[in-house]
A and B are shown apart, each in its own frame.
Chain A
Amino acid sequence: MTRTWFFILISLTAAPAHADDSRGIAKRLLRMITGVPARENDPRLDAMAAKVSSGDLTGAAYLGTEDDNFYDVTLTQFASHLSTREEFQRTPLNDFTATFVGAAVDNLDARQLLSGDFWYQGKNVAGLPAGDGNSNAHYQFLEASRAPLKTHLQRVSPQRSGIVGAGLLTTWTYLKAHVFRGTNRRPTEFAIRDFLCRSVQDIADLNTPRDRIRQDVERSPGGSPIVFNNKCAGCHGLLDGLAGAFAKWNFEFTDQMVRVNGNVEYTPGSIQPKMIQNAANYPAGYVTTDDSFVNYANLNANSAFGWRGPQEGSGVAALGSMIAASKQFPRCMAERAFSQLCVNVDYTVDRLTRTQKEQLLAAQNLIQGLADDFEASGYQLRRLFAMTATMPKCLNR
């Protein structure tokens, strides 16, 4: 039903336009996709206008995704604030952002971004230092060169020899942000925030099994088991079940004062000590012994995520595959694309204003239609953004 309405709306928008209208619509589409006003003499406008005239709005928008600024401005903006713990947009180019952009350039299935053992590095830039895996120097040099990402990125696989990578989730930037110290729950929490568009608080469920809650979680915080039973268990029950996937990963800065450079550590035969720290808090709690995980975030109200495929496994790639296979993943990507292009806000869980939430709520059917199309078209990011730009709410801005 939703899909039907979606295509009715698209077809209404796609009614053949007059020549002048066609060029105007083409300009608006190009501006929407690139974030930059289209120049009157832009050579692509003619081809785009011709497609608009024939009613092929998506085809016109897709042509717009050839523009360098789609990658350098729109997609870089999209990925940047997902790459850091603080969720800042003003983040230097890094391996996370470059890999996201590169996947769009190469029309990869976006699900691979969470499980594929690859990343993207720069190429054909004079003086570009090699990507050393211990700093962001390679990407900052690439950004400073102002070389268009569309033509200066190359896929590199595997990410690290001897270690199975998991796309964005095992990039240096993501690990730097989320597995430095702590308890390695944060990378899972942010995987849910970034790719399922929900905070852990959103999906807390007091009725999940508690057998994976680790020893470091006090069962009577402040002397009261009521707090644990009515609050802590809601998040830890499902988060601790998933966080085991990162049990073998760690990050240490080599410059503790400024925290710019650092090394990723992976221990293939054992877990990181931080996974079993503070065991005395509750000795009867779960003891992590490997990087297995189990998904308890698929019960009760959380079944709405539309999980598909195996619900347990080992390692980050398996976790990423599970997240990417859910129905919520394409929906989240669609929601983010719609937010950026049509509501003019970078979707950040918990930070949307009431007005922005209302605008997204009012567009739920459109967003679901975009998500369905994204999935049906093989999870191609360019297609998602092209389709989003043709939404009446975007086009009529």
Chain B
Amino acid sequence: MKNVTPILLGLFLTACSLEQRVLNVSTKGGDDVARRNALLPPVGLQNFRQAIAAREAALGSQLNLASPVYAKIAGLLSPSGDSETTQSPLLVAMGTLSSELCTQLVDRERVLPSAQRSYFKNVLFSTTTVSLDDNKSHEVAQDLFRIALQRPPSTGEEAAVADAVREAATGANPANAVPDRVGVVVGCSAVFASPDAITN
């Protein structure tokens, strides 16, 4: 669940992103070359240095990764940022990197009193119950877009991420994990692994 949901949600966000790009093209008018150039690079992937630095900037500190994990992730990310280097292992590595970031981000926030948190202020992170109702999951979605993409989500994006956050939390077994934590980490990982977050 933890591994699959962010990727599925990421695919949904891919569709949103591509749809927006096609809309931009169709409203530009002009000749075929302009249309073609609008669809081709300069959209490129973050190279491995950019991907890691961008997530550390979001966290506000260096990621706490064991050297072998760091090397493995960095080794799978794009060396150059060329969009032609997009392959399945790269997307998995982006998901893994995002999960690591989100786990550290959520764990840092959840131990703080609500008033001292930067994000997820109204999430209880109880060890026994789910506090993520409809309103709170939408607040979490808005927080996540602010952290990852520095912009508010579209209506569709917000609904998709809020649903995923709530469903992941509800589906988590309190005996094994803090349900709210699971929900927020899943949503967070999906947003950080979405096309907007992994491209330049």
Contacts and interface: CB of A to CB of B under 8 A. Distances in A.
Contacts of B89: none
A194 to B, nearest CB: 16
Interface stretch (B73-81, B100-108, B121-129): B73-81
Given A69-B53, A344-B82, A355 B75 contact: no
Interface stretch (B7-15, B37-45, B132-140, B177-185): B37-45
A261 B194 CA distance: 41
Contacts of A262: none
B108 to A, nearest CB: 16
Given A90-B79, A346-B80, A397-B200, A38 B150 contact: yes
A344 B79 contact: no
Contacts of A72: 49, 53
Given A343-B41, A397-B200, A35 B47 contact: yes
A72 B58 CA distance: 16
Interface in B29-58: 40-50, 53-54, 57-58
B192 to A, nearest CB: 11
B54 A36 contact: yes
A397 B41 CA distance: 9
Contacts of A344: 41-45, 81-83, 200
Contact of B57 (A69, A76, A89, A393): A69
A227 interface: no
A38 B46 CA distance: 14
A267 interface: no
Given A39-B57, A344-B81, A344-B83, A359 B50 contact: no
A90 B75 contact: yes
Interface string A14-58: 000000000000010001001111111000000000000000000
Contacts of B146: 40
B87 interface: no
Nearest to B196: A37
A134 interface: no
B150 A37 contact: yes
Contacts of A76: 49
A72 B50 CA distance: 9
A263 interface: no
Nearest to B47: A77
Contacts of A88: 79
B62 interface: yes
Max count, chain B CB within 10 A of own CB: residue among A27, A37, A76, A146 = A37
Max count, chain B CB within 10 A of own CB: residue among A81, A353, A355 = A355
Given A146-B62, A345-B80, A35 B42 contact: no
Contacts of B149: 37
A260 interface: no
Which 3 pairs of residues, A with B, have the shortest CB-CB distance?
Answer: A344-B44, A35-B50, A89-B79
21 contacts: A35-B47, A36-B50, A36-B54, A72-B49, A72-B53, A77-B50, A81-B80, A89-B47, A89-B48, A90-B75, A144-B67, A344-B41, A345-B80, A345-B81, A345-B82, A346-B81, A353-B84, A355-B40, A359-B42, A397-B43, A397-B200
Given A37-B150, A344-B81, A397-B42, 16 more contacts: A27-B150, A35-B50, A35-B54, A35-B200, A37-B54, A39-B57, A39-B150, A77-B47, A77-B49, A81-B80, A89-B80, A146-B62, A344-B41, A345-B82, A346-B80, A355-B41
